[in-house]
Amino acid sequence: MPASVPKWITSRLDPVELLLRLVVGGVFVASSWPKLQDPVDFSGKVRGYQILDDPWVAWAAMALPVFLLVVGGCLIARVLYPGAIVAAAGVLAIFVGALSSLLVRGLDVECGCLSLELPTSLQILLDVFLIAACAALGWMWLRGRPGVTSNP
């Protein structure tokens, strides 16, 4: 008799979904880490956007890194999954809006997004790609739910 195979090996794990979860969740976790290590520097970057005033800059600089870490961890671990997908897409949409406002207003501010020195337009493109990945994750989640048919 063969030894029993663990359930997680025999389960139908979609490799594309896993890859997207690891990419989006990994970007969120990786982007939160430098912000958590140096919140004063990050608050300066938030202030540079000239969107929030004090004390909201401090609140955003303290809350955003923790939020990114939690959402990224939930995506990777597939915990509170539908909410994590919506939260990730929502915060990415806010980032696209904030970055677009920098371009429109002609401000040259270090993004503070991924600790990469990308031009603002490339960062917007990356965020749009991540939003599309969140949409794909949401579609895959809906498709896998019982009672949801793929044929209209």
Residue 11: DSSP 8-state:
S
List, for residues 28-49, the tens digit of each pLDDT value: 999 999 888 988 888 888 888 8
Question: What is the pTM assigned to this prediction?
Answer: 0.83
Q: What's the CA gap between 135 and 2, in Å, rounded?
A: 41
Sequence-distant (≥ 6) Cβ neighbours of residue 33 within 8 angstroms: 65, 69
Determine phi and psi for 51, rounding to 5 degrees: -105, -40
Q: What's the CA gap between 128 and 98, in Å, rounded?
A: 13
- Does residue 107 contact residue 48 with C-beta atoms inside 8 Å? yes
List, for residues 116-148, the tens digit of each pLDDT value: 777 888 889 999 999 999 999 999 988 876 555
Four-CA torsion 107, 111, 116, 120, nearest 10 degrees: -50
Alpha helices in the chain (DSSP H): 7-10, 15-37, 39-48, 56-77, 81-105, 120-144
Q: Which residue has the higher pLDDT, 92 or 143?
A: 92
Look-up of token digits 């929030």 = 52
Residue 52 has pLDDT above 50, yes or no: yes
pLDDT band of residue 1 (cuts 50, 70, 90) is very low
Residue 67 has pLDDT above 80, yes or no: yes
Determine phi and psi for 76, rounding to 5 degrees: -65, -45
Residue 2 has pLDDT above 70, yes or no: no
